[in-house]
Amino acid sequence: MHWLDAMWLYVPRDRLFAGGFGDCDRVMKVAEPFLAPHEAQPLDLKWGAPVTKNGVERRLGTAASPCPLAVVESQQLTVLRLTPTDGPVRGRAILPPSWSEQDFRMRERLYLPLVKQGVELWLLEAPFFGLRRPKGQVGVGLRTVADLLAMGVCSLMELRGMVAAAREEEPSLPVVLSGFSMAGQFSAQVAATLPWDVPVVTMSPSDSAIPVFVEGPISKSVDWKTLEKEGGKERLVPLLEQFGLLNLAPPPSKKKILLATRRDGIVPPAAFERIAGHWKVEPRWLDWGHLGGFLFAGSSLRQAVLETLTQPAA
C-alpha cells in the first residue's frame, strides 16, 4: 500500500447506511433492464449562456433526470460543458462523478488540460451528492443501502442519456467515457450497457462495490450493527454483486484502456486484474496508490483519452 493511501485511512468519514437496507427491491426492479445492453434516449439538455475564459467556454446544462429513483433534490440534473475556443473539437469525453464529489472541481483539475488539446468535456453532477443531496443526509453518508444502489442506477441512466445526447448533437464527433475510481466503474458500466461503440478509459476502478464497501477501508464507515438486524453481509453482498462489471458483458468497443494502480490501498489490485481478464485487455500498471494515481498520474489518464480519440480501432 502506498503511504498516501495509508494516511487517508485515518481521515474521518460520514456514517453509511444508518437507516438500514431500505427498499432495495424497488431499486432492483428499476435496475433490471440495464443488465443487458440496449439503446438510450438522449437527455433533453437546456444549455445556459456561455462564459469564456483562458480559451475555455463554460456552459451549464440542465435536464430532468430520467431515473424514477431520483429523490426530490436529485430530480433535476446539471451538466458542466467545457469547450475549447481555439481550434476544432476532436472529440467529447463524458466524465462521471467519483465517490464523495460535491461539485465539479476534482474532475476539472484532472481533465481540464484536455480542453486545450481539442477535447470537449461533459461532467455530470452526482445524484445524491452536493446540491443533489437528499434532505437530512450528512455529507456523503447515504442513509440506506437502497440509496447507494439508487445513486448508482440514477448515475447510469443519466450518463447513458448524456452519451446519447452527445451522439445526437454531432454524430460525426467521437465520444469516450472516462473516469477515476467510482467514476471509472460508472464509465465501464455505461459503456457495457450501450450497444454502441463507445471507447472507455478507466483508472483504478473496482470490479464491484464489494471490495470497497464490504472488504475495504470504507467498510469502517458502514453501520454494521444496523445492517446485521436486516441480514448483514449475507444480504448486502449479493445486492452489490448484481451491479458488478463481471456480471455485465464487456463494452463492445475495442478501445478499452484500464489504468491500474499497483500499490492501491483503497481498491485492491486484484480487482483490476479481474476486470482485465473479463475484458481480455492488458492493464497499464502505474506504480502509485489510489490517491497518488489521482494526484500524480493524471497525464497518463489524459493521454489514454487522447489515444482513443485519435487512433483507429484495432
| Total structural domains within the chain | 1
Q: How many CB atoms lie within 10 A of CB 167?
A: 19
Residue 223 has pLDDT above 80, yes or no: yes
Question: Does the pTM exceed 0.75?
Answer: yes
Q: How many CB atoms lie within 10 A of CB 292?
A: 19
Residue 148 has pLDDT above 80, yes or no: yes
Beta bridge partners of 76: 64
Share of the chain above pLDDT 70, in %: 98
Q: Which domain holds residue 220?
A: 3-310
User: Domain holding 257: CATH number?
Assistant: 3.40.50.1820
Q: What's the one-letter identity of residue 28?
A: M
Residue 174 has pLDDT above 70, yes or no: yes
Q: Do the Cβ atoms of 160 and 40 come closer than 8 Å?
A: yes
Contacts 24+ apart (CB under 8 A), 136-142: 138/14, 138/15, 139/14, 139/100, 140/13, 140/14, 140/99, 140/100, 140/102, 141/14, 141/15, 141/16, 141/18, 141/221, 142/16, 142/17
Beta bridge partners of 203: 180, 259
